[in-house]
C-alpha cells in the first residue's frame, strides 16, 4: 500500500473556488461550473494560474474544447454553493442557472460574486496520473472586496476571517527565500 496522500492532504488548508466554462451547442451556450480547491498561482509575469481536473470529466472536456474559463474565489457565505457544485455534472446542472453570476467580459465563462475572480485562456495542459493540470493565461481579474474567505480543511468548509492575522510584504527581494 502506498502513501496515504489523501489523508495527509486533509491537513493542508486550501481555498475553495468555482471554476466555470461552457460549450456552444446547436441549442445555445451550455454553462457548467464545478467546485475546485486546486487553484495555483504559477507566475506573475506573465500572469499564469493552474487548475487540476480528473481526466475524462465532462467539465474538463468542455474547458479543453473552448479554451476559456473563469475561476471565482468563494466567500465564507458560499458554503452551500460549494456543496451543490461539488458533484457530477448531472447534480450540478440544475444549480448553474441559479448562480449569482454573469458571463465574463473576456471569456464568456460565468464569474460569480465572491472574494475575487480570474478569467483565463488555456495556455497548456499536462496529463499527470489520473488528473489533467491546465495552465491558463490570466486575461482579467477582480477582487470583490475582502469578505471572509471559504477554505477546505480536514474534510470540511471553514471561514477565514482573522482580524489578528499578520500581513506579509512580499515586495522586498530576499524575503521568504526570494532572490533579488
Residue 177 included in any domain: no
Higher pLDDT, 46 or 160: 46
Q: How confident is the model at residue 103 (pLDDT cuts 50, 70, 90)?
A: very high
Residues 132-139: what's their mean pLDDT?
99
CATH, residue 51: 2.30.110.10
Q: Specify if 1 maps to a domain.
A: no
Residue 52 in this model has a pLDDT that exceeds 90: yes
Residue 9: inside a domain: no
Q: Is residue 3 part of a domain?
A: no
The domain in which residue 116 lies consists of 14-160
Per-residue pLDDT at 2 exceeds 90 = no
**Total number of domains in the chain:** 1
146 φ, ψ (degrees, to nearest 5): -130, 60
- For 52, other C-beta atoms within 10 Å of its C-beta total 17
Determine, yes or no, domain membership for 99: yes
Per cent of the chain over pLDDT 70 is 87
169 within domain boundaries? no
Q: Is residue 176 part of a domain?
A: no
Amino acid at each position: 500500500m502506498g502513501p496515504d496522500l489523501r489523508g495527509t492532504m486533509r491537513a493542508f488548508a486550501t481555498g475553495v473556488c468555482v471554476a466555470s466554462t461552457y460549450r456552444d451547442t446547436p441549442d445555445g451556450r451550455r454553462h457548467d461550473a464545478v467546485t475546485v480547491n486546486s487553484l495555483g498561482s504559477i507566475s506573475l509575469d506573465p500572469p499564469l494560474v493552474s487548475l487540476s481536473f480528473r481526466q475524462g470529466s465532462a467539465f474538463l472536456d468542455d474547458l479543453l474544447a473552448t479554451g476559456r474559463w473563469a475561476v471565482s474565489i468563494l466567500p465564507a457565505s458560499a458554503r452551500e454553493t460549494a456543496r451543490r457544485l461539488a458533484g457530477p455534472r448531472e447534480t450540478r446542472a440544475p444549480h448553474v442557472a441559479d448562480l449569482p453570476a454573469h458571463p465574463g467580459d473576456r471569456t464568456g465563462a460565468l464569474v460569480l460574486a465572491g472574494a475575487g475572480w480570474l478569467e483565463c485562456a488555456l495556455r497548456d495542459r499536462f496529463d499527470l496520473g489520473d488528473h489533467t493540470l491546465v495552465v491558463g493565461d490570466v486575461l482579467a481579474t477582480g477582487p470583490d472586496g475582502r469578505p471572509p474567505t471559504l477554505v477546505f480543511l480536514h474534510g470540511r468548509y471553514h471561514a477565514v476571517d482573522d482580524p489578528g492575522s499578520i500581513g506579509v510584504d512580499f515586495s522586498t527581494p530576499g524575503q521568504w527565500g526570494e532572490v533579488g
